[in-house]
Amino acid sequence: MSTDPQALVAKLVDWYGHWFEDEQALADGQMTADLHPYNHLFSPIQVNSVKIKNRLVMGPMGNVSMADETGRPSSKMIEYYVERARGGVGLITSGLVPVSFKVDPSFLEPGGLVYLPRLDGSRSVLAGWRDLAAGIHAYGARFFVQLSPGAGRVGSPECLVKRRRLPVSASWNPNFYMPAVPCRPLWDHECRALVRATGQAAADAQACLADGVYLHGHEGYLLEQFANPAFNRRPFGPFSDPEALGLALVREIRRRCGPHLPIMYRIDLSLALAEVYRERMDRVKSLRRFRGERGVEATLAYMRHLVEAGVDLFDVDLGCYDNWWLPHPPGPMPPGCFLAVARLVKEHFAEQDVRSVAGLEVPVVAVGKLGYPDLAERALRDGACDMVMLARPLLADPDWPRKVFAGLARDIVPCIGDQEACLNEFIHGGHIQCAVNPRTGFEERWSHDLPPARSPRRIGVVGAGPAGLTAACVAATRGHSVTLFERQKHLGGMLRAGAVPRIKFDVANYLAHLEQRLRGCQQAHDLEVAFGTEATVEALQEGEFDALVLCTGGRPIAPPVDGIELPHVVQAVDLLLHPGLADGAEHVVVVGGGDVGCETAHFLAHEHGKRVTVVEMLPYFMKGSCTANRGYLIHYLERQGVALWNCTRLLRAEPGRAVVARNVSPTVPSPCVTWQPVLPENVVNPLARPIKVEEQEVTIEADLVVLATGLVPDDALYHACQRRGVAPEIHNAGDAFLPATIAQATKAGYAIGRAV
Ligand SMILES: Cc1cc2nc3c(=O)[nH]c(=O)nc-3n(C[C@H](O)[C@H](O)[C@H](O)COP(=O)(O)O)c2cc1C
Ligand code: SF4
């Protein structure tokens, strides 16, 4: 190995903060097809006794609320996977399946209900798994079940409140969600129960036609809490050795399932806590305990020992819950963010001639933002990895493999990395969905092919943002005659401003895809597009449409304070579309610390070298956004020297400055905490400290004040059309109904497009 492996981790963590300055790295994130035909992606590979038809692996994504209440995979879950198998991926892995509800109380709900699939010895669930595996096999894909010994300290602490049971871990560790809740160390006999339960689950998986099992050993879940000295500080006993539990699990699976069943193991090369938090590891109480994390050399030694015990295949990433933007890389992370990590492991295995018990080389699967076809192919050609894992790219487009094989990269619906409808949906109690694919998680409700219109009708759609464009294309594809009006000269609505910062390259890809989709739809169907056309009530009346779909978007709002009309006060969307507005400004105050405010601050600080202060009224920045996305932005804003002021209101704007009221009480939480999540409103934290109010008026130098204070629905046209009865059927959708997420807009557009 040429590079110092530990130094590589520090280098990567640093690079994640400024990678977008490198044109080649940006080019890697394009949906190009220059390397077609993709001979490496579509070559088979042997893993133990199993041949996989290509090098593409669907990454594990939790099947939260996709099983019925006994834990049996439901038709929702089966159809979701069958859709991905049909799309051409070689190997599908399930989301994590906890194997021992008896030992780790965090997954079990009061009344014995579960929200994850089960595979722990009950016959009642087996038929669901068998149907699932058979459905996947029908399309020639393989299926591995991801077995998880538990969540431990990263599980819900509600078991303490609701069932009087302390959450568990390897040693006394703070719970991730509520650090004041302690997680107790498991007894040795409980660890042995975990080992037996894992063996039983593997045997059940094998009986249910699974082609392999996959151990969930990364990201700081319970297995890693044992395997990493950051969390395992057991003074003595058989499981005080960090390698002991993992090796025991693998040996037990081999004992129960024999030598031929492939075993895959998911590991992080490093938690990267020291590299991310540096001196905070000494200063912050809840981080201090985690100072002794496993070094890269120790990880590599552990991996070799796992192979000797029976592991056939690894995938490898970085990070854990406490720096969640690493294992769950959001949009602003670079394309192929962990390729260097996979390469390091692959080179190590080659140097050490590491071979599996089946006598084969041990393949390394790369993961993390690899949904760009040329980058994925190049990773294999250059020898960075042996297989490529795609998780979110297959939520966005299950047909990714089929399209790439056919050289249709431009037809792929790209993932935009917002994690709103996939990861964040779990936090709010939902199941997996996708912002850009309205059918994800609803495959059993919405068939793959659109139902043809019973009788073609004339449909008018106003607004070519995600909602209007989706509605227009779906309705036209079904056979309706559609006219799409857009007052701008181009499609995209608010997405256009959102795609401007370099870290939003995924959104730019999505815009390009929408343009291509609209063109294709215009060519193939009866869809007329009128750009640069303001749709008035009169014009719509004259059009004599049978149905109208109004997606007129939202209007940015401004706080009702003095000076808001001054020339140095601008809206964030205007600034993003016309960055020249910031010319000559050195000090900028961004008002509003939601996604738009923080992304704009990042844009100004990183791409334009401005000195930025962001003020937010609420105690938390980006409250409600996915913890991983929030963590990335806050961490790298802080590193860039952007001042983040929470509990701060704009009082007035004056020439050259902004005057704010800032709560200076010591009870105001630090805005820079990224190692703890913001809990959703409906979860009561009995241990939370109330925030007292001690406001002070503060003047901040500001050559430019940028407003990112939200949108209100622009629904005047809808109400006017409704009043005048302009068409027999009128819908109001997207931001014009409720300014929310892209997910909400595309879902509404799709549902209406299918229904009209
Ligand atoms: C909604 C969602 C659920 C996930 N659930 C799991 C899981 O159950 N087990 C696991 O090991 N990783 C899980 N992950 C992580 C993914 O497997 C993958 O490592 C990550 O999304 C990065 O890959 P990608 O860029 O291809 O999406 C999940 C990711 C997402 C988005
Ligand atoms: S919700 Fe967003 S991040 Fe998640 S898969 Fe869909 S596009 Fe990607």
| pLDDT (tens digit per residue) in 15-49 | 999 999 999 999 999 999 999 999 999 999 999 99
pLDDT tier, 162 (very low <50, low <70, confident <90, very high otherwise)? confident
The angle subtended at Cα 58 by Cα 57 and Cα 60, nearest 5°, is 120
Could you tell which of 64, 392, 507 is best to mutate to test the pocket of ligand 2, judged by most ligand atoms within 8 Å of the CB? 392
Backbone torsions φ then ψ of 130, nearest 5 degrees: -65, -45
pLDDT at residue 2 above 70? no
Entry pTM: 0.97
Q: What local confidence, expressed as pLDDT, does residue 3 receive?
A: 63
Report how far ligand 1's centroid is from the alpha carbon of 44 (Å).
24
DSSP string, 596-621: HHHHHHHIIIIIH--EEEEE-SSSST
Could you tell me which residues come within 8 angstroms of residue 454 by beta carbon, excluding any fewer than 6 positions away? none
Of the candidates 119, 139, 116, the one whose C-alpha atom is nearest the C-alpha of residue 129 is 119
Could you tell which of 325, 419, 431, 439 is best to mutate to test the pocket of ligand 2, judged by most ligand atoms within 8 Å of the CB? 419
Report how far ligand 2's centroid is from the alpha carbon of 509 (Å).
13
Number of residues that this document lists for the chain: 756
DSSP string, 195-234: HHHHHHHHHHHHHTT-SEEEEE--BT-HHHHHH-TTT---
What's the pLDDT tens digit per position in 288-338? Answer: 999 999 999 999 999 999 999 999 999 999 999 999 999 999 999 999 999
Q: What local confidence, expressed as pLDDT, does residue 708 receive?
A: 98
DSSP 665: -
Nearest ligand (C-alpha, residue 434): 2
Report how far ligand 2's centroid is from the alpha carbon of 395 (Å).
7
Which atom in ligand 1 lies closest to the alpha carbon of residue 266?
Answer: 11
Distance of alpha carbon 379 from alpha carbon 387, whole angstroms:
9
- Sheet-wide strand order for 173-174: 168-169, 182-185, 173-174
Torsion angle, CA of 706/712/718/720, rounded to 10 degrees?
A: -90
What's the pLDDT tens digit per position in 592-649? Answer: 999 999 999 999 999 999 999 999 999 999 998 999 999 999 999 999 999 999 999 9
What's the pLDDT tens digit per position in 359-389? Answer: 999 999 999 999 999 999 999 999 999 999 9
Token couple for 261:
């069943």
β-sheet bridge partners, residue 388: 56, 366
Sign of the CA dihedral 188, 193, 198, 203?
Answer: positive
Q: What local confidence, expressed as pLDDT, does residue 536 receive?
A: 96
DSSP 114: B
509 lines ligand 2 (CB under 6 A): no
pLDDT at residue 205 above 70? yes
Could you tell me which residues come within 8 angstroms of residue 380 by beta carbon, excluding any fewer than 6 positions away? 40, 41, 55, 386, 387, 388
Report how far ligand 1's centroid is from the alpha carbon of 315 (Å).
12
For tokens 């699990």, name the residue. 249
Report how far ligand 1's centroid is from the alpha carbon of 96 (Å).
10
Which atom in ligand 1 lies closest to the alpha carbon of residue 423?
Answer: 1
What's the pLDDT tens digit per position in 58-85? Answer: 999 999 999 998 899 999 999 999 999 9
Which atom in ligand 2 lies closest to the alpha carbon of residue 420?
Answer: 1
Of the candidates 62, 96, 53, the one whose C-alpha atom is nearest the C-alpha of residue 80 is 62
391 lines ligand 1 (CB under 6 A): yes
Query: Is the Cβ–Cβ distance between 397 and 448 less than 8 Å?
Result: no
Q: What local confidence, expressed as pLDDT, does residue 330 receive?
A: 98
Report how far ligand 2's centroid is from the alpha carbon of 557 (Å).
27
Report how far ligand 1's centroid is from the alpha carbon of 468 (Å).
30
Could you tell me which residues come within 8 angstroms of residue 725 by beta carbon, excluding any fewer than 6 positions away? none
Distance of alpha carbon 159 from alpha carbon 606, whole angstroms:
43
Across the range 544-555, mean pLDDT stands at 97
Which atom in ligand 1 lies closest to the alpha carbon of residue 221?
Answer: 11
Q: What local confidence, expressed as pLDDT, does residue 40 receive?
A: 98
pLDDT at residue 688 above 90? no
Across the range 186-204, mean pLDDT stands at 97
Q: What local confidence, expressed as pLDDT, does residue 456 receive?
A: 96
pLDDT at residue 1 above 80? no
pLDDT at residue 124 above 70? yes
Nearest ligand (C-alpha, residue 97): 1
What's the pLDDT tens digit per position in 235-257? Answer: 999 999 999 999 999 999 999 99
What's the pLDDT tens digit per position in 402-436? Answer: 999 999 998 999 999 999 999 999 988 899 999 99
Distance of alpha carbon 14 from alpha carbon 130, whole angstroms:
45
Q: What local confidence, expressed as pLDDT, does residue 108 receive?
A: 86
**739 vs 137, more confident:** 137
3-state secondary structure of 18: coil
**113 vs 522, more confident:** 522
